[in-house]
Amino acid sequence: MNNGKNSLARNRWSLLQAAIIKKRIPEPKDNPASKRIFEKFSGIIDWTADRDTGKISVEVKVDKNDNNRIATYQASNKLSSSTTTTINNSNNINTNSSSKQTSLFLLTVFRNSQCSTLDIGDLRGYDKTGRICIWPAEQVLAYWCLKNSNRFEGKVVIEIGGGFHCLAGVAIAKYIQAKEVVLTDGDPSNVEQIWKGVRHNVFTTKLVSANLLNWDGYVPSNLDGRFDQVIAADVVYDSGIFDSLIKTVSKLLKVGGEFILFNPTRVEKLVDLIETARRSRLFQDIQVSEDFDNHLTSVVEVLKKSDSSFNRDWHYPYQVIFYK
């Protein structure tokens, strides 16, 4: 191992050690050992955070004068960016923006104000990364859902693995007239924070709830087969849970429903998940797109030149839609 890798390993251990002994974890921009160095897609989202209360005020910026593109998954196990379908995205969301081209959507979410420290027990069991930040893929999912509001109107929607915020689900519930929105995560601490967000937003959707949901293939009877859409962002990181994740999603969906996933490729793990879904025969079709939004593509081009912390494989999500 070279000196650079040794230094990075020491930094990661220091990060963990600081958390265990109750020191505050350095912010991502100051900590090169963290994949969180890249914070946000500043061309589509911004926020301010109150460290004392944990309140995060989020502003999503949507350029509606744009077309999205969908590409299909090829049998060669590669992700294809070829365009197969063009969708004209127009919607009627009313916002406070005076601009005809850009609409602003304001959301409130909460993070545990003590999340910068960890108990040793927090290192056991299921993944706790959802306590940390609003992952880049979730930012893009929230943006895309607001831009494609017609897709969710009158639908029963569930977000899985939404972390402490379920930002995309909150965006749908607040600005789109869905029939019902259920916000979920597998970490009880995150579910508590999601409920805070539910109480501090005024929703257009009348039925909004937060629930604990693990991806173990078991779905409670009150959630089984109820949903038109399952949405998720950056949930593909552990190949050991792919089978149970696919089964959980399939059980949540109605026949004819869709699983909308935004996830980075992350060293081919996304390809592995898609292959797992294909082998399961639980879905009629799978569509994949790399360049699915013209405005976002232009934002990424700027980031590649201006932000050295941006890593496309780790931060830019593909769009994958599984049709049941």
Q: Given this model, what pLDDT does residue 193 score?
A: 93
Are 292 and 259 in contact by the 8 Å Cβ rule? The answer is no
pLDDT in tens, 235-245: 998 889 999 99
Q: When comparing pLDDT for 86 and 77, which is higher? A: 77
Residue-level pLDDT at 266: 80
Task: Indicate the pairing of strand 156-159 with strand 45-49.
Answer: unpaired
Model pTM score = 0.79
Contacts of 37 (CB under 8 A, 6+ apart): 28, 29, 31, 309
User: Quick one: which H or E segment has residue 262?
Assistant: strand 253-263
- CA-based torsion, 158, 164, 167, 171: positive or negative: positive
Backbone angles phi and psi of 210, in degrees to 5? -120, 135
Q: d(Cα 216, Cα 203) in Å, to the nearest integer?
A: 30
Instruction: Give residue 68's pLDDT.
Output: 52
Token pair of 110, please? 């909460």
Question: What are 7-22's pLDDT values in tens digits?
Answer: 544 554 454 444 444 4
Q: pLDDT value at position 272?
A: 95
CA 192 to chain centre: 18
Element housing 285 (H / E): strand 285-289
**pLDDT tens, position by position, 286-306:** 999 999 999 999 999 999 999
Our measurement of the distance from residue 193's CA atom to the centroid of its chain's CA atoms, rounded to an integer in Å, reads 16
| pLDDT range class, residue 70, cuts 50, 70, 90 | very low
- Write the pLDDT tens digit of every residue in 107-128: 988 877 554 444 444 444 444 4
Q: Are strands 85-88 and 102-110 parallel, antiparallel or unpaired?
A: unpaired
- Residue 228 to residue 254: CA distance in whole angstroms: 6
Per-residue pLDDT reduced to its tens digit, 12-69: 445 444 444 444 444 444 444 345 578 899 999 999 988 888 899 999 999 866 655 4
pLDDT in tens, 160-212: 999 999 999 999 999 999 999 999 999 999 999 999 999 999 999 999 999 99
Kindly list the structural domains of the chain, giving each domain's residue range(s) and its CATH number in brackets, ordered by start.
1-37 (no CATH), 40-323 (3.40.50.150)
Q: What is the pLDDT of residue 113?
A: 57
Nearest to 102 by CA among 60, 139, 140: 60
**Is the model more confident about 261 or about 39?**
261
Distances (CA, A) of 195 to 72, 112, 217, 230, 297: 37, 12, 24, 19, 33
The span from the CA of 157 to the CA of 159, in Å, is 7
Q: Are 135 and 167 in contact (CB under 8 A)?
A: no
